[in-house]
Amino acid sequence: MLLVSICLSLGVGEIALRVWKRNVAFQADPDLIRSLRPSVSQDTEIWDNDDNLNGRSAEIPSRPDRYVWPTNAGGLRMPREVGAKAVGERRVLLLGDSFTEGLNVRPGERFADLVDLRLSRRPSSDGTRWNLINGGIQNGTPSQYVLQLRRWLPEFEPDIVVVALAANDLADDTFFEYEFGFVFDANGLPLAPRATTRLAIQRRFYFARYLETVVDRLVPSAHGFVFPAATDVPGVDWKRLLCSGDPEMERLWLSKTGHYLQGLRDMTEASGARFAVLMIHYSFIFDDEPWYRLVFPDLESELRRMGCRDTKGSEYRRFVSGFLEENRFVFRDSYEGLLRAKVEAPKRKLWGFYDYHFSPAGHLVTADELSALLDPLLAADAATGVGARSK
């Protein structure tokens, strides 16, 4: 009777969670660590408005605007479906984290959507049509992009692959390796997560998924016992890399994130496609941007203490751009574009007050930066006459 009661309780809890969370797209994935559920129309709130994003107010509105944030049938955060590659079609595959996925702005305002629209309007004398595939996902990072690319290179047949590189990527790379582990290939690139059983259970059962969330928030000291880590790789503080040019963090970045970027480029070029990197940035290194005191009350004092407001992230940019230049990556640092936008309109916010992701204005600037990165690659494709992976 006890066993039956427990099973019934778990069953009722599972059904209740599935109903309650039916519009949540984010899920565990035994192949990709994390992915998005297909064909989900997720209700989302936007707490920023035109007044606080343009300097007329520093207050968050009392009521949010609501909108629907869908995924397509392939589980991508984009309205258009991605089917078989058509004759004359060229594709850009964009890999990135929540900035790329486009949290907390409406569909159509995200930099991926803006660039996709520009590509669709690009004139062509030979019938070439460019499309952008948005592969962005919350907490995405280069080690996970390797797993995504193993699946998506043969499925999507991109002609260009762009990675949106963020300052916290090293922290997420080490976290994924610590929490889930990796099976590596001969080149030290992830083949699959080691914790496939745990991820498969969490994907299949909502109760297991949210049990971990509850334990982590309410009894964090018990989390490691209930959900043991896969490896002993230590976690890192991404602010040490962004703020101070910490030599230890730089060496670790080279062995993890930098190594994965080189692997991503090798995989891409081996498929016949071109590879590029777009460096994106956080608001913390710019003047007159929000500090998210409601969610992160100690962040401002911590970043000031670590020197981020003084260095403006210059050591991080120097180190990463130096690595990319030395290893002959095609890349663009969006810092100057964002800085120009701040000089032109100092009161306009490029990041949100309530949420630390790009505002619509920030997405517009980043769309310009991505377009500038793509322009020579598109010209090179046109010069060859035929896309490397076109049918």
Residue 32: domain span = 12-195+230-382
Q: Is the pLDDT of residue 117 over 70?
A: yes
Say yes or no to pLDDT of 18 above 60: yes
Is pLDDT larger for residue 311 or for residue 135?
135
Tell me: pLDDT of 23 over 50: yes
What is the tens place of the pLDDT at every residue in 245-302? 899 999 999 999 999 999 999 999 999 999 999 999 999 899 889 888 777 888 888 9
- pLDDT confidence of residue 388: 47
> Which pLDDT belongs to residue 309?
81
Half-sphere exposure of 288 toward its Cβ, with a 13 Å CA cutoff? Answer: 17
* pTM across the whole model: 0.94
Q: How many domains does the chain have?
A: 1
The pLDDT value recorded for residue 353 is 86
With respect to residue 327, please indicate whether it lies within any of the assigned structural domains: yes
Q: What is the mean pLDDT of the chain?
A: 91
What are the tens digits of pLDDT across the range 180-212?
Answer: 999 999 999 999 999 999 999 999 999 888 888
Interatomic CA distance for residues 367 and 74, integer angstroms? 24
Position 48 in a domain: yes
pLDDT of the residue at 5: 77
CATH, residue 190: 3.40.50.1110
pLDDT over 50 at 13, yes or no: yes
Q: Does a structural domain hold residue 268?
A: yes
Q: What share of the chain in percent tops pLDDT 70?
A: 98
The answer as to whether 225 is a domain residue is no
Residue 305 domain-assigned (yes or no):
yes
Neighbours of 2 (CB within 10 A): 6
Query: Using one digit for the tens of pLDDT, what is the confidence trace for 341-382?
Result: 999 999 999 999 888 899 999 999 999 999 999 999 998 887
pLDDT at 182: 97
- pLDDT average, residue stretch 31-57: 90
Q: What is the pLDDT, as a whole number, of residue 201?
A: 94
| Per-residue pLDDT at 390 exceeds 70 | no
Q: What pLDDT sits at residue 20?
A: 87
pLDDT at 176: 96
pLDDT on residue 171: 95
pLDDT number for residue 56: 86
Region 53-63: mean pLDDT is: 84
**Bigger pLDDT: 331 or 15?**
331
pLDDT at res. 168: 94
Q: What percent of the chain has pLDDT over 90?
A: 61
Q: 81-102: per-residue pLDDT in tens?
A: 998 999 999 999 999 999 999 9
Q: What is the pLDDT of residue 295?
A: 78
Residue 180 belongs to a domain: yes
**Smallest Cα–Cα separation from 67: which of 47, 42, 49, 85?**
42
In this structure, is residue 343 part of a structural domain? Answer: yes
Residue 385 — pLDDT band, cuts 50, 70, 90? Answer: low
Q: For 191, list phi and psi in degrees, rounded to 5.
A: -100, -35
Is residue 203, in this structure, part of any structural domain at all?
Answer: no
